[in-house]
Amino acid sequence: MIGPNNVVLIPILAGILAYFLGKIVKPAREGLTLASALTVCYFVFKTPFDKVIFFNYNFNLPAYFEGLKFGTNALSAFFAILIVFSYLFIAFTAFALVKDKDYHGTFYLFFNIVAGSLLGIVYARDLISFFIFWEMMTWSSYFLVIMNGKNPRKTGLTYIVFNVAGAYFMLVAMLMVYASAGSFHFDKIGTALALMPDSKVILISIFFAIGFLVKMATMPLHVWAPDAYTESENSFTGFFSGTLSKMGVYGFLLFFGALIGFANLKGISSIKGTSTLGYAIAWLGVITSVFATFRAIVQDEVKKLLAYSSVAQVGYIVTAMSIGTALGVAGGLYHAVMHTIMKLLLFITVAGVIYRTGKDKFSELGALITRMPLSFLAVLFGIIGLAGMPPFGGFASKWVIYMSLLKSQHYFLLIAMIVSSTTAFLYCYKLIYGIFLGHPSSPELLEAKEVPVFLWFAQVPLMLALAIFGVFPGLIVPYINKAVASLGFKAAFTSTTPYTLSAALGGFNGFVVINVLGVIFVIVLIWYTLFFPKSKKLHRLDIYWAAETPTEETPLHYGYGIGVELHRIPWVGASLSRHITNFYNKVAEQVNGIASVVKDIVFNGDGQIYMLYSVLTLVVIIMFLGR
């Protein structure tokens, strides 16, 4: 039977098979990927959502080797659903966008492996399997980052250095856990962690947190993210920023929620009902979102704006989760779902726009609304979600996060979050204006075609999903409640109707909101269209231009201009002029300096010295073996 134990293997095998079979029959790659995605979807949905299942693999090894363990519970299932959906949608996108590229085969190889390793992470039930799949995810996505890059060496290096460093912090923590617990299995670790001395628990927590915060691109560990998101293969970026970053969220909840327990950490030391460590991480999250939002606005590259926005949005999730209350975790989970949907939708659409126009900067785009109405609508849905506005799902998830912060009385965190949340309107507007409105920056934009049909299969369901979660904000509540319950909390939401969301201090009815909006819109539209004379259609250059007549050459697109004011706001301008990358560059310079000294002394290219090393190594080994 195929279940959580071996569903992981399907995408991985499909990827390898696609690579080799595709050398003979090219469409086999697409076919196998689609088959694998559909199969995985089927099995994930067939597995009961909140059932706890375990599978052991002992491989007939000696007793001191525990074997690997796989299984599922509500939290795993929650993230597995996100993964399989994204897998399917990105597969559709890739069908249209990757087919002519010379890395066609490698793309499908690594893309499938990434999808498989993500499932492996959520289904792992011991630290060894978790780490194996974690590394697999990092390495296979590394190839997807560098295959299309304009500057693959720098971007790839930053990506791999940060992620591998994060993973090694985790590895150290895992070995520390093993030293105390004598086991890698999750069910045995929890009890051992509860008995450990406080200082050790804190150290292990910090090490694990570093690993997860790198994946979630939280400051100051976010440096890899904007470049990697921007330069990765266009059709993969949605998966990268939407789903891959959520593995950090899953790992965070797994470790702090299920293994060590928020209550346990709170018992060591706490600030206002949140563990001190969690409180610190919450501030990191919110600071990340503030600074990343400012930086997103001033970008000229479309994908880089989305990349920074992604960093900022995941910052909200980090903050909500670290609070460590049932409602906070629920808000984090809710926003994780919404953010995945929004970022898939936006990155897929932008990939299509870049594919059709060959341009990826706001200063080169514009006025595509008449040529690409569906994509315009997709981006409109996406930005309404990103801005957290009713009537779409983005509002519901943000509302839960606000309520969780209000209820746990973390008012200052909430205010900082509002700064970021309000500023986000600017980049949302820049995104839609820069690409679709205003004037075309070059004449060929007026001949661009709508994005390929394959992308519609991804865009339309994602738009529907955003709308449905807006109309029925309570639809997802039972699942969130179960996932939160699997972390040992009481249910986060008490109300259960699909129309309403209510928690802590208030509530709202998404169904009423959309109906009010819809009815008024229709009434005004009918009144306006039927009872008034028809408007006169104007040429795009028939505009007010201070008593002059603009020509085709007049630069009328304001795409890059949005956000220049930010530089003049005192604090914001100062923050934008500095960049944490400079700090890391300084560190890298120093390390390089030291390394070159070491190299001159130790690795000087002299054969005799190398011989000496091997002899010395042999001596050391013999000394230890002799004991």
* Comparison of 444 and 565: residue with beta carbon closer to other proteins: 565
CB 474 within 8 A of CB 498: yes
- The least distance separating other proteins from the CB of residue 525, rounded to whole angstroms, comes to 6
Residues 498-537: x/- map of binding to other proteins (CB under 8 A)? -------xxxxx--xx--xx--xx--xx--x---xx-xxx
CB 315 within 8 A of CB 285: yes
562-568: long-range contacts at Cβ-Cβ below 8 A with a sequence spacing of 24 or more?
A: 562/297, 562/362, 562/426, 562/429, 562/430, 562/433, 562/434, 563/297, 563/298, 563/426, 563/427, 563/430, 564/298, 566/294, 566/297, 566/298, 566/426, 567/298
574 binds other proteins (CB under 8 A): no
Q: Which of 53, 157, 389, 468 binds other proteins (CB under 8 A)?
A: 389
* Comparison of 6 and 497: residue with beta carbon closer to other proteins: 497
Q: Which of 329, 323, 324 is nearest to 261 (CA)?
A: 324
Pairing status of strand 500-503 against strand 274-275: unpaired
* Comparison of 54 and 425: residue with beta carbon closer to other proteins: 425
CB 349 within 8 A of CB 451: yes
Restricting to residues 25-44, which ones interact with other proteins according to CB under 8 A?
A: none
- The least distance separating other proteins from the CB of residue 601, rounded to whole angstroms, comes to 54
**Looking up tokens 């001395």, which residue turns up?**
197
* Comparison of 59 and 532: residue with beta carbon closer to other proteins: 532
- The least distance separating other proteins from the CB of residue 385, rounded to whole angstroms, comes to 12
Residues 545-564: x/- map of binding to other proteins (CB under 8 A)? xx---------xxx--xxx-
Say how far apart CA 162 and CA 363 lie, in whole Å.
Answer: 31
- The least distance separating other proteins from the CB of residue 509, rounded to whole angstroms, comes to 4
Burial of 494 from C-beta contacts in 10 A (0-12 / 13-18 / 19+): exposed
Q: Per CB under 8 A, which region of 172-180, 211-219, 483-491, 543-551 contacts other proteins?
A: 543-551
Q: Which residues contact 242 (CB under 8 A, 6 or more apart)?
A: 86, 310, 339, 340, 341, 342, 343, 344, 347
- The least distance separating other proteins from the CB of residue 386, rounded to whole angstroms, comes to 12
State the DSSP H helix or E strand holding residue 72, giving kind and residue range, or none if neither: strand 68-72
Number of chain positions touching other proteins (CB under 8 A): 71
* Comparison of 56 and 502: residue with beta carbon closer to other proteins: 502
Classify residue 571 as left (phi > 0), alpha (psi -120 to 50) or beta.
Answer: alpha
Task: List the structure tokens of 464.
Answer: 């529907």
* Comparison of 218 and 423: residue with beta carbon closer to other proteins: 423
Restricting to residues 447-466, which ones interact with other proteins according to CB under 8 A?
A: none
Restricting to residues 407-446, which ones interact with other proteins according to CB under 8 A?
A: 409, 411-412, 414-415, 418-419, 422-423, 425-426, 428-429, 432-433, 436-439
Restricting to residues 357-376, which ones interact with other proteins according to CB under 8 A?
A: 369-370
Restricting to residues 253-312, which ones interact with other proteins according to CB under 8 A?
A: none
Q: Which of 59, 64, 544, 624 binds other proteins (CB under 8 A)?
A: 544
Residues listed for the chain: 627
- The least distance separating other proteins from the CB of residue 540, rounded to whole angstroms, comes to 5
Q: Which of 569, 609, 611, 612 binds other proteins (CB under 8 A)?
A: 569
**Looking up tokens 């610190």, which residue turns up?**
280
Classify residue 533 as left (phi > 0), alpha (psi -120 to 50) or beta.
Answer: beta
Q: Which residues contact 457 (CB under 8 A, 6 or more apart)?
A: 89, 92
- The least distance separating other proteins from the CB of residue 308, rounded to whole angstroms, comes to 16
Q: Which of 542, 552, 589, 600 binds other proteins (CB under 8 A)?
A: 542
- The least distance separating other proteins from the CB of residue 418, rounded to whole angstroms, comes to 4
Q: Cβ–Cβ contacts within 10 Å for residue 129, how many?
A: 21
The radius of gyration computed from the CA coordinates of the chain, to the nearest angstrom, equals: 26
- The least distance separating other proteins from the CB of residue 568, rounded to whole angstroms, comes to 4
Q: Which residues contact 611 (CB under 8 A, 6 or more apart)?
A: none
C-alpha dist (Å) from residue 189 to 71, 184, 371, 506: 16, 7, 57, 39
Q: Which of 59, 530, 548, 571 binds other proteins (CB under 8 A)?
A: 571
* Comparison of 230 and 420: residue with beta carbon closer to other proteins: 420
- The least distance separating other proteins from the CB of residue 268, rounded to whole angstroms, comes to 24
- The least distance separating other proteins from the CB of residue 333, rounded to whole angstroms, comes to 19
